[in-house]
Structure 1
Amino acid sequence: MTPEHLPLLLTRTMPYGKYKGRAIADLPGHYLGWFAREGFPRGELGSLLALMYELDHNALRHLLDPLRKDGQSNKR
């Protein structure tokens, strides 16, 4: 992980599935956990999902709060 990855969690969206279009930072923990058990996709998407899983699993979602702009989603 590099510091540049954190803002990407807020801007990259899920390209498919039930949460298609939702920012990776706003994906629910149970969905991230499913990926952790079943395997993350390859490439940037998988890396970002794995990072978000670690933040969620370790109760560190709040680290993204300073990066959010006013009005940016915060669904959990």
Structure 2
Amino acid sequence: MQPDKKALIELAHYKMPFGKYKGQYLVDIPEYYYTWFKQKGFPEGKLGRMMTQMYDIKINGLEELIYTIKREFRK
């Protein structure tokens, strides 16, 4: 199964729209923040899906993949 290239590029460039980390790229937000959301429930919709994906990426140590995509596929 191939990951959706456009979705990964969008994920790499997506910024948090609210809260303590407002304006920061999702990949730059610490793992503990995603763990907290995992316990409390991710937001509905697109942001929640992206945060869930980033949680999975972070707990599996794959952040470098997102940093590479962010560098190579600039907006």
- Contact 1:5–1:48, Cα closer than 8 Å, also in 2: no
Unaligned 5+ segments in structure 1 are: none
| 1:39 is the counterpart of 2:64 | no
Q: Which TM-score applies when normalising by structure 1? A: 0.80
Residues 1:27 and 2:20 are matched in the alignment? no
Residue 53 of structure 2 is aligned to residue 67 of structure 1: no
1:39 partner letter: G
| Letter paired with 1:17 | G
- The whole-number CA distance in structure 1 between the counterparts of 2:44 and 2:13 is 19
Distance 1:34 1:26 in 2: 16
Identity over the aligned pairs, expressed in percent? Answer: 35
Q: What is the CA distance between 1:18 and its match in structure 2?
A: 0.3
> Which residue type is aligned with residue 16 of structure 1?
F
Q: Does 60-69 or 39-48 show the bigger shift? A: 60-69
> What TM-score do the two structures reach when normalised by structure 2?
0.81
User: 2:55: which partner in 1?
Assistant: 53
Deviation, structure 1 residue 24:
1.0
- Alignment pair present for 1:10 and 2:12: yes
